[in-house]
Amino acid sequence: MRARHLLAAAALIGSPALAATGQTATALGQAQAMIISPIIAVSLNDLDFGSLTSSRFASGSVTVGSEGGATYAGGTSPACAGGGACAGVAPARFLVSGEPGRSYTVNAPSAISASGTLVSGGSAPSLAIDALEVHLASHAGSVTSIGELDEKGEDRISVGGRLNVPAGTAPAHYRATLTIMVTYS
């Protein structure tokens, strides 16, 4: 009987030792993030309407397609040998670079204004450029403002438009700024 009491006491005293003080456990978690490289558009060449003549009596226009080619209407005609489109006529072209596989949105104005400098000196009345059309290589054959960067993270944008030439426009050089903006979708 004496022995039983002693053992019971020992068990009671021993129970705090079951508390796992000092037990340490480690887990290796992870934090993940995808930092996307910036998207940029670099101009490869300008939207060029070439050299043209205008009628003194009839307004006209020249339209450069976003995929190339030019059409003349009304009182305008190309001022190049052979009567065809001038060699320099071309849509604006941009190279877009960014994260491969990402879609993006391009914003471009629908119309801009070209300011002129008379051949004889001085400023000429501005000319309107409208019907600006954006074509994305990633969406060949369709006009859309949403593109997708290829496996190299690239896409190409071309922009065409129509230059409106009033009757009697004096000989001048015209220049306009065409700004596009690309952003990830």
For residue 77, the SS3 value is strand
Give the residue, chosen from 11, 42, 81, 140, that forms a contact with other proteins under the rule CB under 8 A: 11
20 part of the interface to other proteins, by CB under 8 A: yes
Residue 174 token pair: 């015209």
Give the residue, chosen from 36, 42, 81, 140, that forms a contact with other proteins under the rule CB under 8 A: 36
Give the footprint of other proteins on residues 84-143 (CB under 8 A): 99, 102
13 part of the interface to other proteins, by CB under 8 A: no
32 part of the interface to other proteins, by CB under 8 A: yes
Label residues 23-44 b or e (16+ Cβ within 10 Å = b): eeeeeeeeeeeeeeeebebeee
Nearest to 107 by CA among 87, 124, 132: 132
42 part of the interface to other proteins, by CB under 8 A: no
Backbone angles phi and psi of 109, in degrees to 5: -70, 155
Shortest spacing between CB 40 and other proteins, in angstroms: 11
Do residues 129 and 164 touch, judged by C-beta distance below 8 A? yes
Residue 89 token pair: 């006529």
Give the residue, chosen from 29, 82, 83, 121, that forms a contact with other proteins under the rule CB under 8 A: 29
Kindly indicate which of the ranges 4-12, 85-93, 126-134, 144-152 contains the residues binding other proteins, using the contact rule CB under 8 A. Answer: 4-12
For residue 61, the SS3 value is strand
* Footprint of other proteins (CB under 8 A): 3-4, 7-8, 11, 14-15, 18-39, 99, 102, 184-185
